């Protein structure tokens, strides 16, 4: 949310919660007017009508929720944020082991059953081209989110 606010030059009062569940409960109850959540947590409440989804923060609509527009569609064009997951190993892990792990992950993410399960949960499997590509991606994410923390003046 802070990244979105910075991108759009908007302001809101931050209401801290101890996780998405309590935050979503407060939105459903009307105590908090808006939040950003991942689709896996929010989708059952969207489908039941307890909350309204205004948009997804990815550049494309989600296959599991094609009726929810992207935030780009109404004009929020400078903002994109997607939740991602990665697998990490200790720095001293032998390259051969890293290559085997990477190949196994790529193979698993190509399995139709795995892809269908990811899609059902609102996720898009997108394996990195190589361990080095993933390292580059992670470094870029760290730089981006460090900027958000700095500019939003977020304190520990």
21-59 pLDDT per residue, tens? 999 999 999 999 999 998 888 989 999 999 999 999 999
pLDDT given for residue 100 in this prediction = 97
DSSP one-letter string for 47-83? HHTSS----BSSSS-BTTBTTSPBTTTTT-TT-----
Number of H helices, E strands in the chain: 6, 0
Range 29-37, long-range pairs (CB < 8 A, 24+ positions) = 35/1, 36/1, 36/4
The verdict on domain 1-81 having CATH code 3.20.20.70 is no
74-110 pLDDT per residue, tens? 999 878 898 899 999 999 999 999 999 999 999 999 9
Domain with CATH 3.40.190.10 in the chain: 1-81
Q: Model confidence at 139, in pLDDT bands (50, 70, 90)?
A: very high
- What is the token pair recorded at 30? 């009307």
């Amino acid at each position: 949310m802070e990244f979105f606010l910075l991108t759009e030059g908007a302001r809101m009062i931050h209401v801290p919660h101890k996780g998405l569940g309590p935050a979503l409960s407060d939105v459903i109850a009307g105590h908090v007017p808006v939040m950003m959540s991942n689709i896996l947590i929010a989708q059952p409440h969207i489908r039941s009508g307890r909350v309204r989804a205004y948009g997804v923060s990815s550049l494309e609509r989600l296959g599991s929720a094609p009726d929810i527009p992207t935030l780009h569609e109404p004009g929020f064009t400078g903002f994109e944020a997607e939740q991602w997951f990665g697998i990490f190993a200790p720095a001293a892990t032998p390259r051969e082991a890293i290559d085997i792990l990477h190949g196994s992950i790529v193979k698993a993410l190509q399995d139709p059953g795995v892809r269908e399960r990811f899609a059902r949960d609102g996720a898009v499997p997108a394996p990195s081209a190589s361990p080095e590509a993933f390292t580059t991606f992670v470094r870029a994410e760290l730089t981006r989110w460090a900027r958000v923390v700095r500019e939003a003046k977020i304190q520990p």
